Amino acid sequence: MGTDELAHTVEQILAATHEQQEGTDAATVREHITQHMLHPSVRVAGILRSLLDLLNRLQGILMDSDDDGNAVIDAKNVAVYLKVVAEVMQVYKTGDASRLMFSDSRPLA
């Protein structure tokens, strides 16, 4: 579950329990999650998502074509891509990967 989905779910819960109070809309809840929550699981999950987004964008610019239409690999972009991959791997090595997700902590029945 991403930050937007979490914010929307919290908004629905708050709307059901606290009729239209200030600060209960999804945008405010999302801002609270992204700007104010300092719990390592939340912050590391956000960082990992950002790194993965960057990785996907970099993947699209690794190759180009020269004037003759031949595929050319951009060495600078490959170097940056590999550094981001290393950072992603480091995040996964820092601890329990299941703690990087927003999830329901209740066991499944």
pLDDT value of residue 69 = 87
Give per-10-residue mean pLDDT for the chain (109 aa). 82 82 83 79 80 91 88 91 93 71 46
CA atoms within 13 A on the CB side of 1: 13
pLDDT value of residue 16 = 84
pLDDT value of residue 97 = 64
pLDDT value of residue 86 = 95
Angle made by CA atoms 19, 32, 36, in degrees to the nearest 5: 145
pLDDT value of residue 98 = 64
pLDDT value of residue 101 = 57
Written as six digits, the tokens of 81 are: 């891509």
